[in-house]
DNA sequence: TTCCAGGACAGAA
DNA sequence: TTCTGTCATGGA
């Protein structure tokens, strides 16, 4: 295995938190080693404090994938500055607590197709089931890499599967979404290049053309696959947190019965600033962490 | 057994 | 534009 030693500016970094916080699926942990697919390669990674040991890719690829160029203290400072501007108060203790529990998380830079495929599979499921579903799809339809090791199914492979077979991999009603999206990607080979070139709102609109991609999945793909840190995926957990903790300070929304998706996402962007995607991930992750810590 | 989960979608109001 | 019912299924 190759070695990468994290410098001071690359801290904090927590491999376990980063891979178990619901932003990536299909990666498995055995002992201290995480193994999974990134950009068409099987990669293994382990962390011992500041030392990252890895195989399957070069340092540049790993560094980019793990988001190690992100300066977390600066990102936190940016978020705090925006919170202070919004509230005219020194600190948001609720957010500070969440940040302290999950500050080792990095927003990964996933391959766009692998990320899109994963989040179409994610709808209305829990993290464990999503992982199982993606594992089955990889096992049955992924490109064989070596004995017992498969990559993600390519769009061409997905397009060739009949719906009934696809449904057997726990995809349920998502099967036609996967097939339709694969078909679109096959017939529009420059699709991801186009997404990269568009502004956040236009990229989101374009992604939502795809079957099985609504506002939530589009935001996940933009955040985890296209480095759009202003993307704020609003799932049931984020909705509950924002409603319980922040609804009263959202202009015009005090007492509103149900906050719309855009109201929540737009609030997060104006409250947390350009790194709202990171802030969202700190909020999303901490419930599980707190349970593990029995807090 | 019931409820919940990193939702999308079509049709109705 | 917003609301509602439906889809499918493993896990708690």
Q: What is the CA A75 to C1' B2 distance in angstroms?
A: 42
Domain that holds residue A17: 2-65
Q: How many domains does chain A have?
A: 3
pLDDT in tens, A133-165: 999 999 999 999 888 899 999 999 988 899 999
Residues 6+ apart with CB under 8 A from A143: A40, A150, A151, A152, A153, A154, A157
- Note whether residue A238 is domain-resident: yes
pLDDT in tens, A148-207: 899 999 999 988 899 999 999 999 999 999 999 999 999 999 999 999 999 999 999 999
Is-catalytic flag, A216?
Answer: yes
- At A287 the pLDDT is 62
Strand B proximal to A217 Cβ, under 7 A = yes
pLDDT in tens, A72-112: 999 999 999 999 999 998 899 999 999 999 999 999 999 99
- At A66 the pLDDT is 98
Of A192, A207, A222, the last residue of a domain is: A207
Supply the CATH number for residue A199's domain.
Answer: 1.10.340.30
For residue A55, count CB atoms less than 10 angstroms from its CB and return exposed for 0-12, middle for 13-18, buried for 19 or more: middle
In this structure, are A178 and A202 located in the same domain?
yes
Mean pLDDT of A226-233: 98
Supply the CATH number for residue A30's domain.
Answer: 3.30.310.40
In this structure, are A98 and A243 located in the same domain?
yes
In this structure, the strands spanning A51-55 and A149-150 are: unpaired
In this structure, are A77 and A61 located in the same domain?
no
In this structure, are A87 and A117 located in the same domain?
no
Chain C bases closer than 7 A to any CB of the protein: 2-3, 7-12
In this structure, are A243 and A102 located in the same domain?
yes
Find the Cα–Cα–Cα–Cα dihedral A260, A262, A263, A268, rounded to 10°: 130
In this structure, are A36 and A89 located in the same domain?
no
Confidence label for A41 from pLDDT (cuts 50, 70 and 90): very high
Chain B bases closer than 7 A to any CB of the protein: 4-9
> By percentage, how much of chain A surpasses pLDDT 90?
91
- Note whether residue A90 is domain-resident: yes
Kindly state the tokens that stand for A139.
Answer: 């096992």
């Amino acid at each position: 295995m190759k070695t990468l030693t994290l410098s001071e500016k690359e801290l904090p970094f927590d491999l376990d938190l980063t891979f178990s916080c619901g932003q990536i699926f299909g990666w498995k942990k055995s002992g201290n080693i995480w193994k999974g697919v990134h950009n068409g390669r099987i990669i293994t990674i382990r962390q011992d404090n500041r030392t990252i040991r890895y195989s399957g890719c070069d340092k540049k690829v790993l560094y980019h994938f793990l988001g190690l160029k992100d300066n977390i203290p600066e990102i936190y400072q940016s978020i705090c500055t925006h919170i202070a501007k919004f509230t005219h108060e020194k600190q948001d203790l609720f957010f500070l607590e969440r940040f302290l529990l999950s500050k080792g998380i990095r927003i990964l830079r996933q391959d766009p197709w692998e990320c899109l495929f994963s989040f179409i599979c994610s709808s209305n499921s829990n993290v464990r089931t999503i992982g199982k579903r993606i594992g089955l799809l990889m096992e049955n339809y992924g490109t064989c890499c070596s004995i017992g090791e498969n990559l993600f199914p390519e769009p061409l492979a997905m397009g060739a599967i009949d719906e009934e077979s696809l449904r057997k991999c726990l995809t349920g009603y998502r099967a036609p979404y996967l097939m339709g999206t694969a078909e679109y990607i096959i017939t529009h080979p420059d699709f991801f290049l186009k997404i990269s070139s568009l502004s956040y709102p236009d990229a989101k609109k374009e992604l939502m053309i795809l079957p099985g991609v609504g506002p939530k999945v589009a935001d996940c793909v933009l955040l985890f696959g296209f480095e759009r840190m202003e993307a704020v995926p609003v799932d049931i957990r984020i909705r509950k947190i924002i409603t319980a903790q922040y609804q009263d300070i959202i202009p015009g929304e005090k007492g509103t019965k149900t906050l719309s998706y855009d109201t929540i996402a737009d609030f997060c962007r104006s409250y947390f600033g350009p790194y709202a995607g990171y802030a969202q991930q700190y909020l999303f992750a901490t419930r599980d962490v707190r349970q593990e810590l029995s807090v």
